[in-house]
Structures are given as structure tokens and as C-alpha cells.
Amino acid sequence: MEERLQKYMARCGVASRRKCEEIILDGRVKVDGVVVTELGIKVNGNVSKVLLDDKEINLEEVKRYIMLNKPEGYITTVKDEKNRKTILDIVNVDERIYPIGRLDYDSSGLLLLTNDGDIYNNIIHPRSVIDKVYIAKVKGIFTDEEMNKFKGGVDIGGYITSDSNIEIIKTMRDTCKVKISIHEGKNRQIRKMCLALGHEVITLKRTAIGRLTLKDLDKGQWRELSLDEVNYLKNL
């Protein structure tokens, strides 16, 4: 059965569909010996020969579904032009996998990786409404008024965030810890939301994506998802 080239590439574990589109437009892909530079072409994975950077790609026989407790100081990419450490320096598997979403260099916590393009799109598609839970330590103490503003949407520079939730779980002398739940994934969104209300984020950790939680997974450790967890993601 034919399918769009970028979808086939994503199912081969190359990258997300959007990133695969960029790769196609950069002229790095050949189909049956012809360089493809436009979107829309369809291929049959059982018949067509697809090359990326002159290396043939095929559907991965083994699907991998991995949860990582990302430490600070790692980039959520497969490669980094500045030669910084990436999450694949921690998760070293034979299959080509890629992260679902991202966590900032200075942030830690739950990150999912896979070579299953369908699950990737289930999670990041704009129509998906999946709560992501974070624990943040911030400067200052949130007031009730500030938390109400946070929940109703914050301007983070030309974009008003959707409704979210925030609660204080611990107060200290001049800082506090808050539990935040959002379903969006804008770049550095929580840091920008807190800063917009006068609270700089000191530390930030993601603890849950939907029903998936870190549980007792230590920082810097990773594990395969259970069958129940995989089925949950497939049925989102």
C-alpha cells in the first residue's frame, strides 16, 4: 500500500513526520534513484527503494518504546551541532529511536523515545489533549491572584497559553515548589509562564505524561514501556 514519503520515513524511525518533511525539502532523500525535493510523493515500502543520505532505510522490525528520566545537562535531540551530550548518550539501543517532544537542557524528568511514528503523532498532534505534569522550584511565592492568572492563560510573547493548573506544594523562605499541569508543549513554556508572573524557574522536572509516571525510575535511568503503557499510547 502506498503512503506519503514522510510518513514512511517516520515509520522507519528516521524522525518525526515534520522533521522528515524538512529532510525531503533539503534534497537528502532518493526514491528509486531519483532525488526528491517536493512533498506529496507516495511510496510503497515493499517495492520502492528509499535512500537517506545515500543509505537505504527500511521499516524497523523491532518497535521500541522507552521511558527515560532525563538528567539536566542533556540535549533532547539525536545530534547536536555544538557537540553537547544528547539523550542518546544515555539510551544506547540498536534501533534508530527519537524523542517524543522535548525537555530543555536545564530540565529533567520523564521523556519518551520510540521508533513508532504512529505513537509519536498520537502524542504530539495538536488535537491531542494529554496532561503533562511538572514540579518546579521558583523564586518568590505565588499569590492566589497570580495562580488564577496562570490557570486562565498567560501571554508568553505573542501567544496566550491554554487553561492549565498550578498548586503550591511547598513554601520556603523566598522560594516555593509548585505542581503544574499543562497539555501544550511550546518551547520553554512553563519557564516563560512563571517568568511572566514574576517568578524565575530554578529547577524544573516533568513527572508524568497522561497516565505514564516516572514512579521509581532514577535520574539518568531508562526502561522499556510495559504492554499496558504501549496500548494506552496507541489508543490516545
- Exposure string over 120-153, b if 16+ CB within 10 A, otherwise e: bbbbbeeeeebebbbbbbbeeebeeebbebbbee
Q: Residue 169's closest CA among 147, 197, 195, 152?
A: 147
Q: 25: phi > 0 → left, psi -120 to 50 → alpha, else beta; which? A: alpha
Q: Catalytic residue at 104?
A: yes
Q: 516555593: which residue's cell? A: 176
What are the distances in angstroms from CA 55 to CA 28, 33, 50, 133?
Answer: 10, 11, 8, 39
Whole-angstrom distance, CA of residue 156 vs CA of residue 183: 15
Catalytic residue among 26, 94, 104, 155: 104
Is the distance from CB of 72 to CB of 57 less than 8 angstroms?
no
What distance in Å separates the CA atoms of residue 54 and residue 30, rounded to the nearest whole number?
8
Q: Which residues are tagged catalytic?
A: 104
